[in-house]
Structure 1
């Protein structure tokens, strides 16, 4: 009985360590995917801003004109 309690505590601790390690790896993988998606969104945003800037240098297309309410 003297050796059973520390052994049980050790097994529980190792199980908890493995569980938390698995959760950490999952969270890191999710974070990496989110970072890639964010970088893709930044790139698309930059491209759209460039298109808008180029479009406003020339004649303003009808789709970008501001229509007054009068």
Structure 2
């Protein structure tokens, strides 16, 4: 009986570890997608600031130059 309880606890622990691993993997993928989205938004913002500055002032400051 004691071995069955120990085995049950080990199985429950293993299931919990697998469940948490799957959740962590999913969260990491969502974080990577969010970081890429933020990076893309920042690049578009810099490009729009660059175009706006060119349209209003002419020369673009170095801080607003399009990054390649």
In the superposition, the TM-score normalised over structure 2's length comes to 0.82
Mapped pair 1:15 → 2:52: no
More RCO (CA 8 Å, sep 6+):
2
Corresponding residue for residue 68 of structure 1: none
Unpaired runs of 5+ residues, structure 2, are 59-68
Q: Provide the aligned C-alpha RMSD in A.
A: 0.8
Number of aligned residues: 58
Unpaired runs of 5+ residues, structure 1, are 59-70
Larger Rg: 1
Q: Which runs of 4+ in 1 moved over 4 A?
A: none
Superimposed CA distance per residue, residues 28-68 of structure 1 (whole angstroms, 9 cap, x where no aligned partner): 0000000001000000000000001001115xxxxxxxxxx
Provide the C-alpha distance between the structure 2 equivalents of 1:50 and 1:32, rounded to a whole number of angstroms: 27
